Amino acid sequence: MTDVASISAGQEKPKPVSLPVGLRAALPIATLLGLGFLAPLLTVAAYAFAAPKSFDVFRSFTLANFAAIFDPANTVWMSFAWSLAYALVTVALLAVIAYPIAYGLNRLFGKWSGLVSVFFVFPLFVSENVRLYGWVLFFIKNGVLDGGLKWLGFSGGPEILYTPGAILFGMLYVYLPFMLFPMSLGIAMIPRDLVDAARDLGAGRIMIWREIELPLAMPGILIGMLLTFVLAAGAIAEFKILGGQSVIPISQDIEVAFTYAQNWPMGSALALLLVAIVSGLALFVLSKLDLDRILGRK
């Protein structure tokens, strides 16, 4: 009896399995992201391999949709090229336009620059389509610009509406806040004491900008550029409202496949390729950058 009692006493009760505190705290948001992001993406991926013009997503598997996209006779790659080209040009121009604005806001308002830059986000509270149609009324023949110039005695305004230039203008206008706000936060992270110390040691304005200001602001600049590129690559309202049918982006082809053509598998295949191309380009650019140096880790 003594041996049995000692053995029983020596056995420890198994401890209940419990998740770490951090994982338990992150579980609600992880569930939300899974349902709101991963589930729709997986559904689109499943439809991409379904039979064309069918909704039989779980009982068919085919590569016919991708074969049709990669068919040399298919001109859908022109839509991909237009979307990516406009996105890249938009990012490049907004980086040049937004940086002086963000820098001026920080120099003028100091620590309040982040709050002031929020005012540039206020247009996002109004529908994008409403704002773009406002520019249609501005640029249209006998509209605000054309009618105003005629009233002043000129021959009228230039033909801007429904041109590739109007599309680019609309994208610059719509995506400026997405570039400006992260860039302004990045510039606000630059310690002014560090800049003053470099100036006292004899560093010139260009050297201070190249060696101190730009590297320290680079995280905000990169976030703004990536955010703008991802959003601009899927733009559609600017092409349809300001450009008419002058340029057809890939997002419009996806919309047509899902709506008028009722070809959900083809639309899903196009969407999946767009996600892959945009993600691949973003990861390729990040792989070419020394993030440790940019983020100040070495």
pTM: 0.82
Please tell me the predicted confidence (pLDDT) of residue 15. 59
| pLDDT, average across residues 67-86 | 89
Dihedral sign for Cα atoms in the order 176, 182, 183, 188: positive
Rounded mean pLDDT, 117-133: 80
Instruction: Fold for 86-247, please state it.
Output: MetI-like fold (1.10.3720)
Of the two residues 282 and 5, the one the predictor is more confident about is 282
pLDDT at res. 238:
92
| pLDDT band at 117; cut points 50, 70, 90 | low
**Domain regions of the chain by residue span:** 86-247, 251-298
The 10s digit of each residue's pLDDT in 211-266 is 888 888 888 888 899 999 999 999 999 999 998 888 999 999 999 999 988 888 99
Average pLDDT, integer, range 171-195: 86
Mean pLDDT computed over 90-101: 93
> Range with the lowest mean pLDDT among 46-50, 64-68, 107-111, 217-221?
107-111
User: 81-101 burial by CB neighbour count: b if 16+ within 10 A, else e?
Assistant: ebbbebbeebbebbeeebbeb
CB neighbour class for 270 (10 Å; exposed up to 12, middle 13-18, buried from 19): buried
In tens, the pLDDT along 278-294 reads 988 888 877 766 656 55
pLDDT at 170 over 90: yes
Q: What is the CA radius of gyration of the chain?
A: 27
Check pLDDT > 90 for residue 111.
no
Work out the burial of residue 126: count CB atoms within 10 Å of its CB; fewer than 13 is exposed, 13-18 middle, 19 or more buried.
exposed
> For 10-60, what is each residue's pLDDT tens digit?
555 555 556 677 777 788 888 888 888 888 888 888 888 988 888 877 777
The tally of CA atoms less than 13 A away on the side-chain side of residue 183 is 27
pLDDT in tens, 128-153: 888 999 899 888 888 888 888 888 87
Which pLDDT score, from 0 to 100, does residue 143 have?
82
Q: Residue 4 above 70 pLDDT? A: no
